[in-house]
Every structure is written in structure tokens, then in C-alpha cells.
Chains A and B, each alone.
Chain A
Amino acid sequence: DQQVKQNSPSLSVQEGRISILNCDYTNSMFDYFLWYKKYPAEGPTFLISISSIKDKNEDGRFTVFLNKSAKHLSLHIVPSQPGDSAVYFCAASTWGGNQFYFGTGTSLTVIP
């Protein structure tokens, strides 16, 4: 039962352009969403998060958008850099953070 889905296993983008990574969820009780970045042979690293009371959160080149009615969130990276090449996981949690549900990841390649 995959409650968080990332339907694009991979994405390639030219350096300097925008990268958009998408994530869908099924559980309307989720109230906190996170994005993690993972390099090979390393654990995931927290990138950015958003609470369900917001529809946008921005941190430098990274912006997360949340559309609760569509149960959809997206991560925008502008401008994309080669160092952004990694696997990106979205995750969701209900209140209290007692269980986190992760998507299967999207492998982003930024082409110099």
C-alpha cells in the first residue's frame, strides 16, 4: 500500500534550467511533508519541508508547493546545478511524526 508515490523514476534537466519533481499521496490525514536528497552510498539528507497549513515554502533555490485538494506536492529547483544530481525522496507524516511514508524516489540528473 504505497501511500506516497513518485511516478517519475528519473528526470534529466540542463544546468541552469528548472527541475520539477512531483509527488502524490493518498492519505488526507497527512499534515507534514518533506523532501530528502540522497547521494550514492550516503543516507538521505533533509532538504525542505512544508506543513499542511501552507501551500508554499521556499529555501534558496528550493521551493516546495503543496496542493491539498489534489493531494500533490512538487519540489522546484531553480536554477539546477550539476551538484543537485541525486535521488530525491518525498515523505509524508501524520500529526506527531510517529510514522513516515516515503516515495520510491526520483533520480535527478543535471546535465552541465
Chain B
Amino acid sequence: EAGVTQSPTHLIKTRGQQATLRCSPISGHTSVYWYQQALGLGLQFLLWYDEGEERNRGNFPPRFSGRQFPNYSSELNVNALELEDSALYLCAGARGTYEQYFGPGTRLTVT
């Protein structure tokens, strides 16, 4: 069984640009969660998608958005990038349980 995949592994953008991050959960997992882990901080909840719908979002500005596709993969878009958006972005899949299965993350660097 393939694990959760995220792409790209690393992404370098300049301030003001847009970034798109992608996540594919384990087959059969219909929920996708996105988290931001900035340096020295814990995982901060960003977004939760389930069955193609956004179910909840964390305390982040609207320039953080995303979607979930019919195959349950998901993408996270960050518009108007700011320097403080530099972080590790983790996605996790789940299927009706509390236990989440995480991908390896995308390291976003904004210069």
C-alpha cells in the first residue's frame, strides 16, 4: 500500500508569488488535513477536506486556500506569499477515525 505522497519536496518562491502544494492520501482515505509547521513551532492546523468539501479551517488568512479532487487528492494554494509563510507544510489523510497518516511534507521557502 502506497503511503501519503506530497509534492514537491522543496519549493522556493519569492514574496508576492503563489505556491501550490499537492497531496495524495492513502487509497481509501477520504479526508485530508493540511498543517503548517514553522521553525520552532508545533503543527498548526490549516484546512480539513472531506469528501471533496472544505469542512474546517484554522486561524489563517484567506490567501491560504485549497481544494480536494474527486480522487481525494488535494492541493493547497498560498497566494501573495510572505516571508513568514516559509515553513514545512504537512498533509495527512484519514478515514473516519482520529488517526491521521502524514506525508513527508513540502518545505516552502519564501525569499
Residues of A close to B33: CB separation below 8 A: 100
The 8 Å CB contact of B98, one of A32, A43, A44, is: A32
The 8 Å CB contact of A104, one of B41, B55, B103, B104, is: B41
- The 6 lowest CB-CB distance pairs between A and B, nearest first, are A43-B102, A102-B43, A104-B42, A102-B42, A97-B98, A98-B56
The distance in angstroms between the C-alpha atoms of A2 and B44, with both chains bound, is 9
Digitize B53-87: 1 where CB-to-A-CB distance is under 8 Å, 0 elsewhere: 00110100000000000000000000000000000
Digitize A58-82: 1 where CB-to-B-CB distance is under 8 Å, 0 elsewhere: 0000000000000000000000000
Q: Does B99 contact A (CB under 8 A)?
A: yes
User: Interface on B for A, CB 8 Å cutoff?
Assistant: 4, 33, 35, 40-45, 48, 55-56, 58, 90, 92, 94, 97-105
Size category of the binding interface on chain A: 20 to 34
CB distance from A32 to the nearest CB of B (A): 5
CB distance from A76 to the nearest CB of B (A): 20
User: Interface on A for B, CB 8 Å cutoff?
Assistant: 2, 4, 6, 32, 34, 36, 41-46, 49, 89, 91, 93, 97-105
Highest count of chain B CB atoms <10 Å: which of A2, A4, A42, A46: A46
